[in-house]
Amino acid sequence: MHCKLPNPTPYIGVAVASFVLMLAADALGDNGRQPVNASKEGGVAPFADYGRLGRSQTRALLQKSIETIESRHSISAEITHRVDLFGRQFLGKGYYCEERSGPHPLVRFELKTPMGDSMSSLKQVSDGKFLWISRTVMGETSLARVDLARLEKAVGKLPRAGQGGVGTEGVGLGQAISLGGMPGLLRSLQAFFDFESAESEILSTVPVWKLRGSWRKSKLAALLPDQKEAIRKGRGGVDLSRLPQQVPDHVHLWLGKDDLLPYRIEYRRTQKGSRGSRAMVTMQLLMVSVNVPLDRGNFVYRPTGMTPTDQTDAYIDRIARRAKQIR
């Protein structure tokens, strides 16, 4: 008999359901990725001579990554992911692809995770008109649909929503990917975390910038309301160990120096009584291809045997509420 995991918080919803992303570092290498020529595409030339970046440079680097990825016609990658929460560990694989040829990015995002004797899965397809969300957890399958036109009409293009898509700051990780593609995921990280530093590293032969982000004050205060005043004033002594056990206290993001793609993301939690931390949720991409023609069938979803639940209003409400916090 399998026990269901506790309900996830909105901040790492897909993660707790064991649907987030990772891949072992030694599997990365070149793996068919097509790096962007930094001299022609803007790249990270202004940062290339520094081994460590300060806050303003790190913020500029992340913004440049978002803008660069938004300029790509298509991206595809295989995904592996690891989740270590509530004393349980899960490993899984997936696939991601997006194409930018209209007002909304076309996106396909799939993850499969063995959980005991069953296979849990998440499939999200944004076909330009609807976002389809199919989940199977512990043998139970659900299907939902979001009307993108209604969503955009109600919410509008929120600040930092970027090119081609509704604002993504108010949704969870998996939804951010499916609504705004990979830039949507990065914008969500940008909205929730303050990236204060970056270090030059090699991720298995690949030159990368490793960015470190901590919760923005407004987000942290919402999570720790009894420490709100200390957080607001920036005082030391905020007890991060009082965060809910499924919530990380910082995030690491690895961006390729040549192409600015996010090759690895770790949601981490500082160990109590120690300076060390552990990765709660890890995502890494491999076999990354950029501007390669994609099969249009990737962005077609045909529901069979189930009537989808309309979640458009729920998405509108969620994005609108969190947008107020961001401003």
Q: Which amino acid is at 115?
A: M
Residue 46, pLDDT above cutoff 50: yes
Predicted confidence at residue 272, as pLDDT, reads 77
- Among 273, 223, 244, 250, smallest CA distance to 85 is for 244
Band of pLDDT at residue 11, cut at 50, 70 and 90: very low
Percent of the chain with pLDDT over 70: 74
Query: pLDDT tens for residues 215-272?
Result: 999 889 988 999 988 888 875 778 888 888 888 999 999 999 999 999 999 999 988 7
Provide the terminal-to-terminal Cα distance of the chain, rounded to the nearest Å: 46
Q: Which residues pair with 126 in a beta bridge?
A: 107, 131
Query: pLDDT tens for residues 116-157?
Result: 778 888 888 999 899 999 988 878 889 999 998 888 777 665
Predicted confidence at residue 159, as pLDDT, reads 43
Distance CA 291, CA 129 (A): 23
Predicted confidence at residue 13, as pLDDT, reads 33
Architecture of domain 11-326: Clam (2.50)
Which 3 state secondary structure label does DSSP give 11? helix
Predicted confidence at residue 255, as pLDDT, reads 95
Q: Which of 19-23, 101-105, 209-213 has the lowest mean pLDDT?
A: 19-23
